[in-house]
Amino acid sequence: MEFGRKLRELREEKHLSQGDIEKKTGLLRSYTSRVETGMTVPSIETLEKYAYALGIPLYRFFTNGEAVSAPKIRATNGQSTWPVGAKQQRELRQFAKAFKRMDKRRQKLLLQLAQQMAMRRTKN
């Protein structure tokens, strides 16, 4: 996955410069340049910073920009299988549908990222 190409595409779509990203993320402009040119692969934490600065959900780095609509996720007795609110359920459904459309290589990469995020969360 070329995160740099996708980052540049999303940044330009929002009419932001690398300097604007630097101000919003605290990451040096030169670092963003290296990511965009493929010289550096960002960590999960860095991808989260970029997503926040661009005002997009993290999964946008793994999709081709197509519209994501909510898939149907089974619930038990009319209740969610996870203890989350309605907004989180909608986001989870959107994510599941986007994940379903990804090729196997991207699915594997995303699962690895999620595992790393979960491990980081349990350490805190």
Averaged over successive runs of 10 residues, the pLDDT of the chain (124 residues) comes to 82 92 92 91 87 86 67 53 67 79 82 78 63
Backbone phi, psi, residue 17, to 5°: -90, 170
At a CB cut-off of 8 Å and minimum separation 6, what does 102 contact? 62, 63, 110
Whether 89 is covered by a domain: the verdict is no
Whether 99 is covered by a domain: the verdict is no
Whether 106 is covered by a domain: the verdict is no
- pLDDT at residue 5 in the model: 87
Whether 32 is covered by a domain: the verdict is yes
Whether 90 is covered by a domain: the verdict is no
The strand ranges marked E within the chain are none
Task: Tell me how many domains the chain contains.
Answer: 1
Whether 85 is covered by a domain: the verdict is no
CATH number for 45: 1.10.260.40
Q: Which amino acid is at 9?
A: E
Please answer whether residues 62 and 110 qualify as being in contact, where contact means their C-beta atoms are separated by less than 8 angstroms: yes
Domain span at residue 53? 3-62
